[in-house]
Amino acid sequence: MNKKALLAVLIALMIPLVSYFIVKTKSEKNIHMPRHYLPDSIISNTERGKRVSDTLWHTISDISLTNQDGKKITWDSLKGKIVIADFFFTRCPTICPGMTENMKRLAASIHNGKRVGDKTNKLVHFLSISIDPERDSVERLKYWANRFQINPETWWLLTGDRKQIYDFALNEIKLQMIDGEGVDTNFVHSDKFVLIDSNRHVRGYYSGLDSVSLSHLSKDLVMLTMEKDPNKKSFFAGKLEIMAVAFLMAIIGVFTLLYFLNRKKKTDA
């Protein structure tokens, strides 16, 4: 093999590798995942002589409520799901019907990607939690579900202990802290849709009555479905670059050896 042929082969092998690094770098720069909210603490470590800080985000505590079918629901019932939650009550004469209609439109826009067969969304779940649980019985929730034709497979209306619900809204979801808005702790009447990832971290607050805000929610939801779970690293996580370089070095070594063997053969001849 002559030098030109060897060089051509090496260039051909390097092009995919270089392209991989370019695409990877560009992708990482251009993809903006929904931000995290509610930091719990910051841990600082020294790695390779550099000070590195890592934020521990607030993980929503478990909750036990009852849905419109009378079934007990906990956060374990939502394991692996992205959740969109809001707070409502069935006797609400103002914002709740509009919020429910908008959530219904959002829920209807999401499916599992199949072209045929069951298209039921398996990844995202919707929660509407009553802030008037004393009057919002399972029967009342069923009435609301029938009124808006809510699919119980992907959307639960929830009622239960009032103290638990308000603690969840104020101390776990932390509605009273968003944008400095004043939320009445005696009656949490908020228009916010809350985006929660599969690790139970809050990733966004959106107005359930504003079309622009709902558009942002839709985009953030799409991005969140593509986010890699840091708690589920694959075998190849962090190893692809090393494997690629090792592969390239091996190829270079093989062709270098072939080059010298070919050169020695010509010398002996």
Per-residue pLDDT of the chain (269 residues; tens, 9 = 90+): 555 665 565 565 566 655 555 545 544 444 688 999 998 888 777 766 777 777 899 999 999 999 999 999 999 999 999 999 999 999 999 999 999 999 999 999 887 655 556 667 789 999 999 999 999 999 999 999 999 999 999 999 999 999 999 999 999 999 876 655 566 677 888 999 999 999 999 999 999 999 999 999 999 999 998 886 555 554 444 555 565 566 566 666 666 666 666 666 667 66
Alpha helices in the chain (DSSP H): 3-30, 95-108, 138-148, 162-167, 211-226, 240-268
CB 99 within 8 Å of CB 209:
yes
How many alpha carbons fall within 13 Å on the CB side of residue 92?
A: 23
The answer to whether position 231 is within a domain reads: no
Query: Is the same domain home to 246 and 213?
Result: no
CB 217 within 8 Å of CB 203:
no
Could you give the number of structural domains in the chain? 2
Query: Is the same domain home to 24 and 65?
Result: no
Boundaries of domain holding 252? 3-32+238-268
The answer to whether position 49 is within a domain reads: no
Query: Is the same domain home to 75 and 179?
Result: yes
How many alpha carbons fall within 13 Å on the CB side of residue 90?
A: 20
CATH at residue 163:
3.40.30.10
Query: Is the same domain home to 204 and 79?
Result: yes
What is the predicted pLDDT for the residue at 30?
Answer: 47
Query: Is the same domain home to 13 and 130?
Result: no
The answer to whether position 41 is within a domain reads: no
